[in-house]
Structure formats: C-alpha cells, structure tokens
C-alpha cells in the first residue's frame, strides 16, 4: 500500500511570494495533519483536517492556511513568505480523528525562502 | 503550555549495546498516548513505539521498550542490541486533541561500530 506522498520534495521561493504544498494520504485515511520542522523551533503542529474540515490549529499566523479535498488530499498554503518560513514541512495521515490513531508521515517538503 | 522535554541532545552507543533515551512531559489529562518516533537522514518520521497512559504495562516492540512512569511523567526509550541502522534522530511525543502531536526537541543517536 502506498505511503504518504508529499510534493514537491524541494522548493526555493523568494520573500513575499506564496507557496502551495501538497499531501496525498494513505488510501482510506481521512485525517491529515501538517507540521513545520526547523532547527530552532523543532517540530510544531500547524493544523489538522478531517473530512474536509479543519479540526485543530496550531499557533501560526494567518499566512498559513490549508484545505482538504473530498478525496482526502490536502494542501497547505503560505502567503507573503518570510525568511523564517524556511523549514521542512511534514504531513501525516491517520485513519480517523481519534487521538489513539497512529500517524504515518511523509518524507516532507523542504522549503527554502531566499 | 503542555510540553515534552528531551534532556539529551545527543547520545552515543556501541553497536550491540543498550542505550536509554529520556523524555519527560507535562499534562493535566489522565488519558493520553505517548510515542517515540525515529527520523533517519531520509527525514521520514517512523513510529517506533506507542504507550497508552491508562495501561500500566510498559510497551515493547522487538528490541525497543519503554519505561513509563505516569506519576513522574517520564517516558524513556530503551534500545537493546543497538544496530547501525538505529542511528537517527529520536523524538518523544504526546497527543493532544485529535491527532495533534506535541514533540520534544529530539535526541540524536549515534551508533559506533
């Protein structure tokens, strides 16, 4: 069974631009969560989507947004990019919204803002 | 804020020996899950082991086991018979609402041949 797929794997953007990252969960999984990983702040939760609805949101500015489609694929968007947005963005999929469900991670998208 | 703390930024172990990684956490809840994730150079987070807080028995998965001390809010990972492939970043995490995970800062494990 295919794992969690994140595209693109690498991305270089200029300050002020916007970017969209994509995550395709494991087939049958309906929950998708996004995390930002940086050397300084570590792994931080961005948001979780389940059945096309945002269920939880982390402490990030409104420039960070996301959505989920009916096939459970999810996208996250960052507008007006800042240098500090350079990070590894990880997506995780889970079968359900229940907190005991195991999360499976993708390989991430490495975003560099110059 | 509910936090997860890993006090060892780096650890080193000789191949075939045993190493223990430490983790403490903060929570006001009685029911929750704790996890150890491994992140190799490929960057993909892999679940190593999971512990349900209401279960007193420590979880084990082959060479990996945990020492869960609920009252002390401690959750350490023991790796027995360490292998070169165990070298990676290890993250301790606990769940919050839904599937939201709070991670510790990570421990880099090096395995010496």
Task: Note the pLDDT tens digit of each residue in B17-26.
Answer: 999 999 999 9
On the question of pLDDT at B63 being above 90, the answer is yes
| Spatial contact of B74 and B66, defined as CB atoms under 8 Å apart | no
In chain B the domains, ranked by start, together with CATH numbers, are 4-112 (2.60.40.10)
Structure tokens at B3: 């936090």
Say yes or no for a CB contact (<8 Å) between B96 and A107: no
Candidate from A42, A56, A102 with C-beta closest to B100: A56
Query: Touching check for A103 and chain B: CB below 8 Å?
Result: yes
Distance CA B26, CA A31 (A): 25
**Cβ atoms of B75 and B68 closer than 8 Å:** yes
Q: Is the pLDDT of residue B101 over 70?
A: yes
pLDDT at residue B29 greater than cutoff 90: no
pLDDT in tens, chain A (114 residues): 679 999 999 999 999 999 999 999 999 999 999 999 999 899 999 999 999 999 989 999 999 999 999 999 999 999 999 999 999 999 999 987 666 678 899 999 999 999
Report which secondary-structure segment, H or E, holds B88: strand B88-95
Q: Name chain A contacts of B55, Cβ cutoff 8 Å.
A: none
Give residue A83's Cα distance to chain centre. Answer: 18
* Helix, strand, or coil (residue A112): strand
**A42/chain B closest Cα distance in angstroms:** 6
At residue A92, the pLDDT reads 95
Asked whether residue B99 carries a pLDDT value surpassing 80, the answer given is: no
For residue A31, which of A80, A104, A82 has the smallest C-alpha distance? A104
pLDDT of residue B96: 74
Structure-block tokens of residue A61: 């500015």
Looking at per-residue pLDDT, the higher value among B87 and A97 belongs to B87
The confidence score (pLDDT) of residue A1 equals: 64
């Amino acid at each position: 069974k295919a794992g969690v797929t994140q595209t693109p794997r690498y991305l270089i953007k200029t300050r002020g631009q916007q970017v969209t990252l994509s995550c395709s969960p494991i087939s049958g999984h309906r929950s998708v969560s996004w995390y930002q990983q940086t050397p300084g702040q570590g792994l931080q939760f961005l948001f979780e989507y389940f059945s096309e609805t945002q269920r939880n949101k982390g402490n990030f500015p409104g420039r960070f947004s996301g959505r989920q489609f009916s096939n459970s694929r999810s996208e996250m968007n960052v507008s007006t990019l800042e240098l500090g947005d350079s990070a590894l963005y990880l997506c995780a999929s889970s079968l359900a919204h229940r907190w005991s469900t195991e999360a499976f991670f993708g390989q991430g998208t490495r975003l560099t803002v110059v | 804020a509910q936090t997860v703390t890993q006090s060892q930024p780096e650890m080193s172990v000789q191949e075939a020996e045993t190493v223990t990684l430490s983790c403490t956490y903060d929570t006001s809840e009685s029911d929750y899950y704790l996890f150890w994730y491994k992140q190799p150079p490929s960057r993909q987070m892999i679940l190593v082991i999971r512990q349900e807080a209401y279960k007193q028995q420590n979880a084990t998965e082959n060479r990996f086991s945990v020492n869960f001390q609920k009252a002390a809010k401690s959750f350490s990972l023991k790796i027995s018979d360490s292998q070169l492939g165990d070298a990676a970043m290890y993250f301790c995490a606990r769940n919050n609402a839904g599937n939201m995970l709070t991670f510790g800062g990570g421990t880099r494990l090096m395995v010496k041949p």
